[in-house]
Amino acid sequence: MHAPTVLPSGTRFPHHTAAVASGWAPASRGGARAPPVATPLIRSPQGHWKEISLTWRLVFTWGSIALVGLLLHRLRCGLLCPAALSSSLLEEVGGVVRACDRGLLMGASVNNSPLHIAAATLNHFARMAAMLPRPFSAEDDESPITQADAASVSRPLTAATCPALDRFLLINMEDALPVKLLDVVSHWPALKKWGLPYFRKVAGARTVPVEVGARYTDSSWYQRLMTLDEYFTQYVTCCGNEGRPTGYLAQHHLLDQVPQLMEDIVVPDYCHLGQQPPRINAWVGPRGTVSPLHHDPDHNILVQASLSQRYTILSDCTKVVGYKYIRLYAEDQSRLLYAHPDPLLGNTSQADVEGPAEAWPLLQKAEYQDLVLGPGEALYIPPRCWHYVRSLSTSFSVSFWWA
């Protein structure tokens, strides 16, 4: 668990977003606003999303479907006539896509939801409104992608190439031994397709929750909703602005929200050795994004997928972008890891793993293993195994959690 406030599907939002305000729906072309079908259906000023009953989340989902149907009915003539496309019409289409995502992010899952189809179909039109002032170009996705930080691996973790299922179960899962997995996702289409231009094309207008701040344990940390296009422009490809806070799209069920991305991966066979289907989350961020030292209750396979296939020459090595430095501590080292006293953050360490050694003397005595995870590589992290993650470059990771 990356942060304490968690939706059932794994997405975390600030408390105030539990209330869905009316009035954000787009105006009709005649100037009149949509009727109050967007009236708040769920209100939870404080507390966790898990405290909201499934019934109310279903009500919100079906209300969102009704709202999207109404808005599409109003826009049908303009969308069917390409010559009638205008900036105001395209902005209204963007409002429909936002309505779809609100229903998908805050409601309950329903089979064959039309929200998926509507959002995927309208994504292109919604992006056109954002591109009218200045279309996105290849230069928008260039500079930071070709930069990568170096990392020193002092106690390398054992690696295994496609271990047999029974061996993985008996040695790694049963004995809680982490392992770097090689050649288990080399067949993924994502390894060839995923890049910033591809994500912009497929899901640029889709709304996602972004964590703003260096670490989720910081008092200045907060979350905001924005489109993927906005996120990439403001936090990923904005070079030369070192004073800007870090933006991290972390622990989000993006592949469920955008099924086209789910088609680009295959769930590793190891993830089916548990009692429940794996929960799939995406992690997208620029270099320097950090997940503080923490542990999770479930089995985890973290797969590193690149957001670009370009190489860059560093002073000491050659790297392809999409790298993460990861440090692992076994559960029996917990007494040395400065667990947070706050019960909500009890799975998180207060220590800065790569900070001054004198600030955390016990941490220096703890035994650990570390590695650099590159594109097409995977890492198995056992339950309650402490792990610290720092992005060495702009990257995209997919995690699979199962019990």
Structure confidence by residue, pLDDT tens digits, 4-40: 433 334 434 333 333 333 333 333 334 333 333 333 3
Asked whether residue 124 falls in the same domain as residue 270, the answer is: no
Domain endpoint, select from 76, 98, 131: 131
- The total number of structural domains that make up the chain: 2
Residue 216 sits at the vertex; the CA angle it makes with 321 and 243, to the nearest 5 degrees, is 65
Torsion angle of C-alpha atoms 66, 67, 72, 74, degrees rounded to 10:
110
> What was the pLDDT predicted at 82?
64
Decide if 304 is inside a domain. Answer: yes
Decide if 98 is inside a domain. Answer: yes
Asked whether residue 121 falls in the same domain as residue 179, the answer is: no
Range of the domain at 172: 143-402
Asked whether residue 240 falls in the same domain as residue 368, the answer is: yes
Decide if 244 is inside a domain. Answer: yes
Pairing of strands 290-294, 324-329: unpaired
Asked whether residue 120 falls in the same domain as residue 225, the answer is: no
Asked whether residue 79 falls in the same domain as residue 149, the answer is: no
Decide if 231 is inside a domain. Answer: yes
Decide if 361 is inside a domain. Answer: yes
> What was the pLDDT predicted at 41?
38
Decide if 73 is inside a domain. Answer: yes
Asked whether residue 163 falls in the same domain as residue 126, the answer is: no
Average pLDDT rounded to a whole number, residues 358-363: 96
Phi/psi-derived region of residue 245, left when phi > 0, alpha when psi is between -120 and 50, beta in every other case: beta
Say how far apart CA 258 and CA 76 lie, in whole Å: 23
212 in Cβ contact with 222 (< 8 Å)? yes
Decide if 189 is inside a domain. Answer: yes
Angle between helices 54-80 and 87-106 (to 10 degrees): 160
> What was the pLDDT predicted at 274?
94
pTM of the predicted protein model: 0.81
Average pLDDT rounded to a whole number, residues 61-71: 95
pLDDT tens figures, 208-230: 999 998 778 787 889 999 999 99
CATH classification of the domain holding 280: 2.60.120.650
> What was the pLDDT predicted at 317?
30
Asked whether residue 90 falls in the same domain as residue 165, the answer is: no
Asked whether residue 301 falls in the same domain as residue 202, the answer is: yes
Asked whether residue 114 falls in the same domain as residue 250, the answer is: no
Asked whether residue 164 falls in the same domain as residue 288, the answer is: yes
